[in-house]
Structure 1
Amino acid sequence: MTTLSTTVHNPLVRALHGTGLLAEDLDYHAVRASMVIMFFFFGYQKWFPYEFERLVPFISNGPLIWWLYPVFGHAGASYFLGVSEWTFGSLLLAGFWDKRIGILGALGSTGTFIATVTIIPFMPEGWDVAAGGFPAMTGNLPFLMKDVVLLAVSFYLLRQDAIRLVRR
């Protein structure tokens, strides 16, 4: 098995090591920071009328979030999502220091992206029939596909925080 210490003689590995790119947990911290940034920016959008209307096809076709409109109305549903995103982003941010809080943020994040990924099969006109249907995406569906990756990232953070908490 090759380890970092045995590959330091490789000039590329040596150069990467010198940049700090191979620092332990760099990827974990970068993923956490990117999720915090993403939740804060996406949460910010939810406070504006243009976003209320932009969310209609997503919420209306979401098997896990359809209830937001009957309960809160269009603006209220958007505000609810914005507060949720800021809450999960804040919990993920606090997870840099406290893994128990990080686990709560990762659980919320995982739930968020389970809810959005489940919209994919129900999005009207999501597959371009003229181009042969699946996998030719159209309309709002390509926007939702990023949530498949964000779900995986959320699960990664949940797992990493749980492992780090158990090891303490």
Structure 2
Amino acid sequence: MTQNITSVADRAITGLDRIAPATTITKIGRGVALAGVVLPLLLIGLLKFTQIEVDALKPLITNTPWLSWLYPAFGEAGATALLGTAEIFTAVLLIASPWSARAGLLGGAIGSLTFLTTVSVMFALPIWYAELGGFPWINPVGQFLLKDVSLLGVSIVIFGESLTRAKAQISQAV
């Protein structure tokens, strides 16, 4: 019985691979993952140049010790614009990453630092509904920040893959 189920599953896997080869599925997945990082960076980066976003970031930046220095250094609008510029620049580098290992390397590095920073904010701010008993009941701030864990992961993958491609290009040139 188990052998029959395994045989049917094996045939299904083989048939699926003929219809949509694993390499094609992987390429599609990489493209979707890249778009999943680029779109938030672009759209939220552009939003950083609006007063709505300046106001929305005040509690996050003010209450995070390792980010609060941004306001005295650049002002509220200036700090937000700086973050938006970095996000848009990173998105452009990531868009170029399939064609340029160096762009992917820089974009992956900046994206990793960006999302590591936003994920770290979860350690400085209350992200759990205290009235529901805390963990695992995540509040809107936590919900907003939690997605950045996956964006951090994709940025690290892009960084690592770009590093591998850049090293291969250097060794071919030598």
2:121 aligned to 119, 130, 151, which one?
A: 119
Q: TM-score, normalised by structure 2?
A: 0.81
In 2, are the aligned partners of 1:128 and 1:134 still within 8 Å (CA)?
yes
In 1, are the aligned partners of 2:36 and 2:151 still within 8 Å (CA)?
no
In structure 2, what is the Cα distance between the partners aligned to 1:8 and 1:139? 42
1:12 aligned to 5, 8, 16, which one?
A: 16
- For the aligned residues, what is the CA RMSD? 2.2
Unaligned runs of 5+ in 2: 1-9, 170-174
Greater share of residues in helix = 2
Bigger drift between 92-101 and 111-120 goes to 92-101
**Which structure's CA Rg is the greater one?**
2
In 2, are the aligned partners of 1:43 and 1:86 still within 8 Å (CA)?
yes
**Cα distance, 1:107 vs structure 2:** 0.5
User: Does 2:47 match 1:45?
Assistant: yes
In 2, are the aligned partners of 1:95 and 1:101 still within 8 Å (CA)?
yes
**Cα distance, 1:7 vs structure 2:** 6.7
In structure 1, what is the Cα distance between the partners aligned to 2:95 and 2:155? 13
Letter in 1 for 2:73: V
Q: TM-score, normalised by structure 1?
A: 0.84
For the structure 1 residues 130 and 106, does the alpha-carbon distance in structure 2 shift closer, same or farther, using more than 3 Å as the test? same
How many residues of Structure 1 are paired with residues of Structure 2 in the alignment? 160
Unaligned runs of 5+ in 1: 1-5
SS state of the match for residue 22, structure 1? helix
In structure 2, what is the Cα distance between the partners aligned to 1:77 and 1:45? 13
| Aligned residues with identical type, % of pairs | 32
